[in-house]
């Protein structure tokens, strides 16, 4: 795999590059991969996500997405009931009926994802076979794919990884002899994607595509001339799938904060022979705006301590941003899975001696958090209220995935997401 990475910088070992990592296995407190549907169905505008699961699955997604008032949602649940679990019904036949009714009713659907869940995996329902059968039946109007959103062994952001990895084998191939092109990988808010597109064009990279695209017909072509850069840190399976098709990953930090976003653009530009000086020239104005916005938030955050429970895989880039740009102290940075290759640039920038943990043993991590008494705890929804009741200030990890936080223009908003709970605590204590 290492040979598939474009080496852009040769940095001496620093920060936490070689730091020991506490690996824990035990009770977990995370959402499942079905949660990713909440932002993916908004991103791919002609796709539909059909969860094959229980009423609990349906409740989770509906609760996470909120009430859709102005538009019909593009997700639903095919309920697995007692007859399915008992083997008294043919689940494949029933799934065919559900999909047929759905596509007859929704002529706007061009891509349908069959999303596996814990119940569908328990009864060994073969959704890949169903997807192949239904895709053949409804082609060329609708392409049917499948992936697993089960939370049995994964955290919630891995739902996006599984979805995008399922897309990759069907992406069009680049033409023979085509010029090298760049693909930005990871779902971004439309406003962020538009900002990045403008900056890439000004830097001198007009041929930039995004995965996922906003419409199924606009998905990027990939091949040996493709260079891709990750915008999200939780896309290991997607990266492997792209590399299997000949694409090469550009090593970079993630575009969070001024430092991360600058390094990210510099890495992309360097892969195409464009200098850091050109990047600095193009990004001077947004960098200045971002630094001014961060200065306002630093007043509330500098010197404050933060503890990260493992939840989203955003923890390490966020910790780097909070420590280096806002002066916060890192009590512990936990992450569900540490991909050292993808995190190499981030680990090198973390303050030396930062406690790192991978995986989760909930009780042990709670003990360490209570002992540290951090100023703010980044955790899942299930932990937030109990910790608040104990007098700790919390930030929901899932909000950091739902919110536009990438890039220069969003750096101040990202910092404010951490400053706001501290201000709330101060007001309540007054």
Of 51-60, 94-103, 275-284, least confident by mean pLDDT is 51-60
- Segment 327-355 mean pLDDT: 96
3-state SS class at 147 = strand
pLDDT band at residue 12, thresholds of 50, 70 and 90?
A: very low
**Closest among 3, 91, 9 to 269, alpha carbons compared:** 9
Whether residue 151 is predicted with pLDDT greater than 60 in this model: the reply is: yes
CATH entry, 181-280, from 3.30.590.10, 3.40.50.1460, 3.40.50.1980, 3.40.350.10: 3.40.50.1980
In angstroms, the Cα distances linking 126 to 18, 100, 148 are 42, 18, 11
Is 239 a residue whose pLDDT tops 50?
yes
- How is the chain split into domains, by residue range? 16-28+285-429, 33-154, 181-280
Distance CA 40, CA 164 (A): 10
- Compute the average pLDDT of residues 168-196: 94
Q: What is the pTM of this model?
A: 0.91
Q: Compute the mean pLDDT over every residue in the chain, rounded to the nearest whole number.
A: 89
pLDDT-derived band at 309 (thresholds 50, 70, 90) equals very high
Tokens at residue 299, please?
């007043």
Q: Which residue has the tokens 């569908």?
A: 120
Smallest Cα–Cα separation from 342: which of 202, 221, 161? 161
Q: Which residue has the higher pLDDT, 281 or 427?
A: 281
> What is the distance in angstroms between the CA of the first residue and the CA of the last residue of the chain?
55
Return the residue matching tokens 């419409």.
215
For CA atoms 181, 182, 188, 190, the dihedral sign is negative
Q: Is the separation of the CB atoms in 131 and 67 below 8 Å?
A: no
DSSP string, 141-189: T-EEEEEE---SS--TTHHHHHHHHHHGGGSPBPPTTPPPEEEEES---
CATH class entry, domain 33-154: alpha beta
Element (H, E) at 116: strand 111-116
16-28+285-429, CATH topology level:
Rossmann fold (3.40.50)
Domain 33-154 and domain 181-280, same fold? Reply is yes
- pLDDT score, position 362: 92
How many other CB atoms sit within 10 Å of the CB of residue 240?
15
Closest Cα partner for 44 from 175, 166, 137, 201?
166
Distances from the Cα of 32 to the Cα of 23, 43, 61, 100, 152, angstroms: 21, 19, 10, 27, 8
């Amino acid at each position: 795999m290492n040979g598939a990475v474009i080496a852009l910088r040769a940095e001496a070992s620093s920060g936490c590059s070689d730091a020991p990592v506490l690996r824990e296995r035990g009770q977990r407190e995370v959402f499942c991969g079905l949660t990713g549907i909440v932002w993916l169905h908004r991103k791919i505008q002609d796709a539909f996500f059909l969860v094959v699961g229980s009423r609990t699955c349906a409740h989770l997604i509906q609760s996470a997405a909120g009430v859709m008032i102005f538009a019909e949602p593009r997700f639903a649940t095919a309920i697995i009931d007692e007859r399915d679990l008992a083997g008294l019904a043919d689940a494949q036949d029933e799934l065919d009926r559900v999909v047929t009714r759905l596509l007859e009713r929704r002529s706007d659907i061009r891509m349908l994802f069959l999303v596996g869940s814990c119940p569908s995996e328990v009864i060994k329902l073969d959704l890949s076979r169903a997807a192949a059968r239904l895709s053949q039946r409804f082609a060329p109007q609708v392409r049917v794919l499948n992936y697993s959103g089960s939370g049995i062994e994964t955290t919630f952001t891995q739902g996006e990884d599984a979805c995008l990895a399922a897309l990759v084998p069907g992406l069009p191939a680049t033409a023979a002899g085509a010029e090298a092109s760049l693909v930005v990988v990871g779902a971004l808010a439309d406003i962020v994607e538009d900002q990045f597109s403008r900056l890439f064009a000004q830097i001198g990279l007009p041929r930039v595509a995004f995965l996922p695209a906003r419409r199924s017909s606009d998905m990027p072509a990939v091949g040996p001339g493709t260079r891709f850069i990750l915008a999200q840190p939780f896309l290991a399976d997607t990266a492997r799938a792209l590399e299997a098709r000949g694409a090469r990953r550009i090593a970079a930090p993630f575009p969070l904060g001024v430092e991360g976003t600058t390094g990210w653009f510099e890495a992309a530009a360097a892969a195409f022979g464009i200098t850091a000086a050109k990047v600095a020239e193009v990004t001077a104005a947004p960098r200045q705006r971002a630094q001014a916005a961060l200065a306002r938030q630093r007043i509330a955050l500098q010197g404050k301590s933060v503890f990260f429970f493992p939840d989203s895989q955003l923890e390490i880039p966020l910790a780097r941003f909070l420590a280096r740009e806002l002066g916060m102290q890192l009590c512990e940075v936990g992450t569900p899975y540490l991909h050292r290759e993808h995190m190499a640039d981030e680990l090198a920038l973390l303050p030396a001696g930062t406690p790192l943990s991978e995986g989760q043993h909930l009780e042990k991590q709670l003990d360490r958090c209570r002992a540290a008494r951090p100023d703010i705890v980044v955790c899942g929804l299930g932990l937030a209220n109990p910790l608040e009741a104990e007098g700790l200030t919390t930030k929901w990890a899932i909000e950091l995935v739902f919110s536009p936080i990438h890039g220069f223009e969003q750096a101040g908003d990202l910092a404010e997401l951490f400053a706001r709970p501290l201000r709330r605590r101060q007001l309540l204590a007054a």
